[in-house]
A and B are shown apart, each in its own frame.
Chain A
Amino acid sequence: MNAEPRILRTQAEDTLALEFAAARTRLPGSPSVAAAREVAFADFQKAGLPHRRTEPWRYTDLRALLRTVPPLVSERAELPAIVDPLAGLDRARLVVVDGAYRPELSDLSGIDGVTVRPLAELLREGDERIGREIATLDDAVVSLNAALMTGGVAIDVPAGAKIARAIEIAHVTTGLLQTHTRNLVTIGADASARILETHVGPADSAYQANIVTEATVGDRAKVIWAKLQLEGAAAVHLGTFSVSIGEETEFDHLTLMTGASISRSQTFLAFAGENARAGLFGATMVRGKQHADIALTVDHAVPNCASRELFKAVMDERSEGVFQGRINVRPAAQKTDGRMMTQGLLLSEDASFFVKPELEIFADDVQCAHGATSGEIDEDILFYLLSRGISRPEAETLLVTAFLAEAIEGLGDEAIGDAFEAIARDWLANRGQEAK
């Protein structure tokens, strides 16, 4: 029982212990959930915040970066007026404010057959699906979420349902808080769905959002999933997505990140049935002193599955981008086809890109590859555009947009792709104006 004591706790870790002690009795959940919270917090305390010797977090040293943590949510906030970044994109909207699903702010039209419930209700019922998709993850930030989760939304797309209208989970943080949101998405066999995840908050508040989304995709289902991280400029975003997909599924996922001061978006995808295909794409745009980390683990546990990963990152000014990607091919996973590529584009001499692609292969009949590149805008190409009269900013915008578009279009959804490309163009249009 005696875990090795960690003698030095950071101020942030101390605050979290106090917050948990004060909140444990009022956090929602059945007795089994309450017991699981205790275990999860003990796991967190044992590990502490991830630091540079925590291999999966080596480029995002939270122990150093999180000096303090803001308080937990204690009261229900009004929804602040925040510009809708996807205005014009047709979708249903499930609004989660400060880690709690708010039905009265949500719009569920056009998604008949889909069940939407507050996650807090499922916690009170002790729903055993909660925590299942993250059970094997050894990650202190996920443990912290498991200890402190307040709610979020549970979405059930029944077997065979074809839901054409996109469903957005709109996460909004209202002020200087730490939030721990948990979402649970279950997509039945033969169903099809398009899920959007957005993350926004006030520009001037150093809030910390910890979001864990668990998803299970049934056999032969077809899913498009796009995440948009547009958190406020001073925020910390810690997002975890863990999904397992059944046989013959088609699953495509895109993460676009441009907000927050410090952000980490980690995706864990497990193939649970044969002949499935997954595409995982990413587009990161950072500037100022932003730090944006993408971590990816693709677990080929069964034979005959294919995965494609393409992650692009654009770093301007003094920002830092990180990509850590890993494809595991287990002994049984013969005929795996896995290809991972990451490309960084540095727009400034002071920007950095840290990359660690990994393949771990235990089967012998597989096709796997990974690649990584990092560079600046090609001067020859730039001159070609300038020589036609195109201004330097416009030429750079054209080239950076084209660079990102390959990843955004990989998702294979034109409407979502167009909306996300518009966000990329907006970011480029504001170049040089938000230097910090």
Chain B
Amino acid sequence: MLEIKNLHASIDGKEILRGVDLVVPTGEVHAIMGPNGSGKSTLSYVLAGRDGYDVTDGEIIFDGENIVETAPEERASAGVFLAFQYPLEIPGVATMTFLKAALNAQRKARGEDELTTPDFMRRVKAASEKLNVTQEMLRRPLNVGFSGGEKKRNEILQMALLEPKLAILDETDSGLDIDALRVVSEGVNALRSPDRSMLVITHYQRLLDHIVPDKVHVMSAGRIVRTGGPELALELEAKGYADYAGEPA
């Protein structure tokens, strides 16, 4: 599904990713943990194709294709989804309008028919009820005035509607209290599927109590420096990142 080979990326000439190697097979959930500044968020942006990051070496193989040169909207239509750490507020664009635009844009890019309004409404209703996203939230401008928990639930709602093959969750637990964390995690777990891979990026182990990964990778100074099972997260929780803070040898 996702195979990252020797990925180097820099921003404003400063190298942040220094040779990332990572494989996430179809249907698996992998976590990336690491200290602040290790390049976790950069990796998520580079995977989603954000402007401003120069990929200087390496490949991102998604579904058998190298997508390094592919535009973000094309990656999205091919099935890459990034749940943002800080979802953006867009005044003047109703949440519903945005969801419909996104869903239909992806369908169009894949050569599928646009959804009829009743069909679209049915899907939104079903997905939003599971995530406690109210009709009132859907009518409001996208994320404007939403609480931290509402924004994250809205991200997972988008993921549920867009049905990506690869979901990247960037610090989805940040800014959430325990109850919100549970709702969001349940939403994510409901979307686990043999056809869908997930990359869960987090600084803390607590999210992984709720979303139990198949594998845990430790990132430090722009590389994956260790890989293990779910128990690795517990070890990191106990010992901290002190062992990984230095520059790679």
Within the complex, the shortest CB–CB distance from A115 to chain B, in Å, comes to 40
Verify B90–A399 contact, CB threshold 8 A: yes
Render B45-61 as a binary contact track against A, CB cut-off 8 A, 1 for contact: 00011111000000000
Render A382-398 as a binary contact track against B, CB cut-off 8 A, 1 for contact: 01111111111011001
Could you name 26 residue pairs across A and B whose Cβ atoms are closer than 8 Å?
A: A381-B90, A383-B48, A384-B84, A384-B88, A385-B90, A385-B98, A385-B102, A386-B76, A387-B50, A387-B82, A388-B73, A388-B98, A388-B101, A389-B73, A389-B76, A389-B109, A389-B162, A392-B71, A394-B101, A394-B105, A398-B93, A398-B98, A399-B90, A402-B90, A402-B141, A403-B92
Verify B71–A390 contact, CB threshold 8 A: no
* Chain B residue with the shortest CB-CB distance to A378: B88
Verify B51–A392 contact, CB threshold 8 A: no
Please measure, in the bound complex, the distance between the C-alpha atom of A84 and the C-alpha atom of B244, giving whole angstroms.
69
Please measure, in the bound complex, the distance between the C-alpha atom of A369 and the C-alpha atom of B47, giving whole angstroms.
45
Does A363 reach chain B (CB closer than 8 Å)?
A: no
Contacts of A380 in B (CB 8 A): 88
Verify B92–A386 contact, CB threshold 8 A: no
* Cβ < 8 Å to A, chain B residues 52-98: 52, 71-73, 76-77, 81-82, 84, 87-88, 90-93, 97-98
Verify B76–A388 contact, CB threshold 8 A: yes
Within the complex, the shortest CB–CB distance from A416 to chain B, in Å, comes to 18
Within the complex, the shortest CB–CB distance from A345 to chain B, in Å, comes to 12
Render B28-58 as a binary contact track against A, CB cut-off 8 A, 1 for contact: 0000000000000000000011111000000
Does B158 reach chain A (CB closer than 8 Å)?
A: yes
Contacts known (A381-B88, A399-B90); A387 close to B48, Cβ less than 8 A: yes
* Chain B residue with the shortest CB-CB distance to A379: B51
Verify B102–A388 contact, CB threshold 8 A: yes
* Cβ < 8 Å to B, chain A residues 221-276: none
A388 partner, pick from B49, B141, B162, beta carbons under 8 A: B162
Contacts of B84 in A (CB 8 A): 384, 387
Within the complex, the shortest CB–CB distance from B218 to chain A, in Å, comes to 26
Contacts of A383 in B (CB 8 A): 48, 50-51, 72
Does B197 reach chain A (CB closer than 8 Å)?
A: no
Does B106 reach chain A (CB closer than 8 Å)?
A: yes
Contacts of B76 in A (CB 8 A): 386-389
Contacts of B72 in A (CB 8 A): 383, 386-387
Contacts of A392 in B (CB 8 A): 71, 73
Does A195 reach chain B (CB closer than 8 Å)?
A: no
Contacts of B162 in A (CB 8 A): 388-389
Number of residue pairs A-B, CB distance < 8 angstroms: 76
B101 partner, pick from A379, A390, A405, beta carbons under 8 A: A390
Known contacts A380-B88, A389-B106, then 6 further A-B pairs from the complex at CB < 8 Å, ordered by chain A residue: A379-B52, A387-B50, A389-B109, A398-B93, A398-B98, A406-B91
* Chain B residue with the shortest CB-CB distance to A383: B50
Interface size grouping (class) on chain A: 20 to 34
Render A94-107 as a binary contact track against B, CB cut-off 8 A, 1 for contact: 00000000000000
Contacts of B102 in A (CB 8 A): 385, 388-390
* Chain B residue with the shortest CB-CB distance to A402: B92
B105 partner, pick from A391, A399, A405, beta carbons under 8 A: A391
Contacts known (A389-B77, A391-B105, A405-B92); A384 close to B71, Cβ less than 8 A: no
Contacts of A399 in B (CB 8 A): 90, 92-93
* Chain B residue with the shortest CB-CB distance to A384: B88
Please measure, in the bound complex, the distance between the C-alpha atom of A371 and the C-alpha atom of B158, giving whole angstroms.
36
Render B137-162 as a binary contact track against A, CB cut-off 8 A, 1 for contact: 00001000000000000000010001
Please measure, in the bound complex, the distance between the C-alpha atom of A380 and the C-alpha atom of B82, giving whole angstroms.
14
* Chain B residue with the shortest CB-CB distance to A397: B101
* Cβ < 8 Å to B, chain A residues 341-368: none
Within the complex, the shortest CB–CB distance from B98 to chain A, in Å, comes to 8
Question: Which of B50, B51, B73, B98 has the largest number of chain A CB atoms within 10 A?
Answer: B73
* Cβ < 8 Å to B, chain A residues 388-436: 388-392, 394-395, 398-399, 401-403, 405-406
Question: Which of A380, A381, A383, A399 has the largest number of chain B CB atoms within 10 A?
Answer: A383
Please measure, in the bound complex, the distance between the C-alpha atom of A401 and the C-alpha atom of B71, giving whole angstroms.
23
Contacts of B105 in A (CB 8 A): 388-391, 394
* Chain B residue with the shortest CB-CB distance to A406: B92
Please measure, in the bound complex, the distance between the C-alpha atom of A84 and the C-alpha atom of B92, giving whole angstroms.
28
Verify B101–A398 contact, CB threshold 8 A: yes
* Chain B residue with the shortest CB-CB distance to A404: B92
Please measure, in the bound complex, the distance between the C-alpha atom of A381 and the C-alpha atom of B105, giving whole angstroms.
17
Within the complex, the shortest CB–CB distance from B9 to chain A, in Å, comes to 16
Within the complex, the shortest CB–CB distance from B201 to chain A, in Å, comes to 15
* Chain A residue with the shortest CB-CB distance to B109: A389
Please measure, in the bound complex, the distance between the C-alpha atom of A387 and the C-alpha atom of B50, giving whole angstroms.
8
Contacts of B49 in A (CB 8 A): 386-387
Within the complex, the shortest CB–CB distance from A425 to chain B, in Å, comes to 13
Please measure, in the bound complex, the distance between the C-alpha atom of A405 and the C-alpha atom of B97, giving whole angstroms.
14
Please measure, in the bound complex, the distance between the C-alpha atom of A391 and the C-alpha atom of B72, giving whole angstroms.
9
Within the complex, the shortest CB–CB distance from B155 to chain A, in Å, comes to 10
Contacts of B109 in A (CB 8 A): 389
* Chain A residue with the shortest CB-CB distance to B110: A389
A-B residue pairs, 4 tightest by C-beta: A402-B92, A389-B76, A388-B102, A389-B106
Please measure, in the bound complex, the distance between the C-alpha atom of A394 and the C-alpha atom of B114, giving whole angstroms.
15
Contacts of A391 in B (CB 8 A): 73, 105
Please measure, in the bound complex, the distance between the C-alpha atom of A436 and the C-alpha atom of B64, giving whole angstroms.
44
Verify A384–B158 contact, CB threshold 8 A: no
Contacts of A395 in B (CB 8 A): 73
Verify A402–B91 contact, CB threshold 8 A: yes
Please measure, in the bound complex, the distance between the C-alpha atom of A172 and the C-alpha atom of B48, giving whole angstroms.
51
